[in-house]
Each structure stands twice: as C-alpha cells, then as structure tokens.
Amino acid sequence: MTLWHPVEPTVWQGRDDSAEAANALRVFQTIASPGDFSPQQYRGKVALLGFECDEGVKRNQGRAGAAQGPDVLRKALAGMASQPGHGQLVEMGNIRALPDKLEEAQQALHDALLACQRSRMRTLVFGGGHETAFAHGCAILDAFPHERIGIINLDAHLDLRHAQRASSGTPFRQLALHCEAQQRGFHYSCIGASVAANTQALWDEAANRNVTVIDDLAVLHTFDDRVMPEIARNIASYDRLYLTIDLDVLPAWEMPAVSAPAALGIPLALLLRIVEPLCRSGKLQAVDLVEYNPLFDHHGAGAKVAARLAWQILHWWRG
C-alpha cells in the first residue's frame, strides 16, 4: 500500500502494573498491534491510523509541524489505564505524506480507511492537518453509498475555502463537491466556529450550502438550547455519523499546540458533553483528531489533553 508504514514498537510503551493484578492494564497492553495492514482480521474493532501530513497546513499559511503529531499522541495515550472500550483498538500504522504531495497522501489515506470500513471496522485517525477530513470523509461516503451520512465538525473554523489547490482550509467544500458528484446530500454541522476567525465569504459559503453552524459564543451561552438539540437531530436524522475534531476548537490555555490557537474556544469538559451522546448512539462510524502540533507543545500538556479526548471517545464508543 503506497505511503503506508508501520508504527515503531517503541511508541506503545508505558508503566507496567500487571504484577499487581491481571486487570491492572494500560492501553499499550491491550491494543492489538499486528505490525501489518490487515483490517480483514479485525471485523468490529476500531482501526487507529495516523496521517503524517501538514502539507495542507503549509498551503493554508499555517504553522507546520502537525505531521509529527500522530506518534506523539499515541505515546500520550499508551500509558493511560485500559478500561472498557479500549480493547477494541487496533494499530493500523501511518500514512506519510511526501513534500508537496498532498493529493497523493489523501488518496492513500482514503484507500486505507475505505479498506478498514469495508472490513466492518470503525476508524480513528490522528492527524495531521485538517486536510485529513477530506480523505476520511470521502472514505465514509464511499463505503456507504446508499446511506445518509452526517458530518459533525468541532472546530473554530468552517474550512469551506475556495482555493486553486486543496489545503487544510478546504476539506468540507471538497466534501460538498464529492457529495454533489455522487448526487447525495451534504449534511454538515460545524460547532464552535469563531466569528472572529472566519471571513464573511466563509459564512456566505456555509449559508449557500445549508451548513448548520453554532458559533463559539452560542455554544458557551446556549448549550442546552442550541447544541444538544443539534446533536440529537444528527443522531435521529442520519444512518451513520462522522465526527471530526480540530483541536483548535479548544481554548489556547488548554490547547496551545495547534496552528491557530483559539482566543476563546470550547473547554474540554464542555466538548465531552457533545462527544458522549455521539459515541453512545451506535451510529458513530468514524472519528479524527487533527491539527495537533508537537512543535508548539513545550510542556506536553496539549498531548495529554488530546489523548484524554481520544481515551474518552474509545471508552464511550459503541458499535
């Protein structure tokens, strides 16, 4: 498979408490790590893939470094306690982008994810920039061509840019065009968008494409009236759901290690209230966490926040 490589065994290490009790286990001890790409052997499990890419961030004039994120997030997750849900995780390796070869990398990631989905696995991706979402979203759409797919983006940005080349700012407009080509509906909700971080042209594009947007202030001030009904609507309306989380939706004091830290943002505790019903719905097919940039995570706090988010998703996720 092009651009794929396995994860080094040294990534999945941590404190060993197994002498204390048989169930004193951590994630690194319960994850399946076959060392190759073999999704057909893991039906019903969750495939973990990394996307070592920030070519889209570079094209979007952002701070490069997200390509180094997947393995740092794995290391932060590895030592956390393994609880119900974490035993379903299967290591499926990384897709590594070559310089200025974004489209080839997205195609390789799409193909790997599509293979996992067709093997009846669910997929969790550690990015990489938000260009990850075009590959991941297309894989879900292509795996379930006759179903209604709801796309939920937790993000400070709408990522609906018009541009001559794909970038981390274009994935949802690209997904809209992909839906048009397949003659199916584009069902996109963006929760946490900052009015200060999106130009009027982007808000116009969202309106033209009937995107549901709940901005950051609305999330903070009218959570029960606006956010939870929208989550319930997605669960009720669509056959399957794809959740994509740009870590810059978190406030800068919780997540400084992104290309564009949020001056306001949605705190992790509130974000988890959005995530939990999606995970427990039985309809969540795919999740990614994107834009983590270890070059700006000087004390490792950002990796811990992102890893706790991933840990919680796996703990709540139901097939």
Written as one letter, the residue type at 87 is G
Pairing assessment for the beta strands 89-96 and 149-154 based on DSSP bridges: unpaired
297 is in an annotated binding site: no
157 is in an annotated binding site: yes
d(CA 236, CA 150): 10
Coil/strand/helix, residue 137: helix
Cβ-contact 219, 265 below 8 angstroms: no
Pairing assessment for the beta strands 4-5 and 122-127 based on DSSP bridges: unpaired
Dmax (CA) of the chain: 60
224 is in an annotated binding site: no
User: 3-class secondary structure for 52-118?
Assistant: ECCHHHHHCCCCCCHHHHHHHHHHHHHCCECCCCHHHEEEEEEEECCCCCHHHHHHHHHHHHHHHHH
162 is in an annotated binding site: no
Cβ-contact 160, 202 below 8 angstroms: yes
Pairing assessment for the beta strands 4-5 and 89-96 based on DSSP bridges: antiparallel
54 is in an annotated binding site: no
Cis before residue 128, ω within 30 degrees of 0? Answer: yes
Pairing assessment for the beta strands 46-52 and 122-127 based on DSSP bridges: parallel
225 is in an annotated binding site: no
Residue 5's beta-bridge partner residues?
94
Which segments are annotated as binding site for Mn(2+)? Answer: 130, 155, 157, 159, 246, 248
Annotated binding site: 130, 155, 157, 159, 246, 248
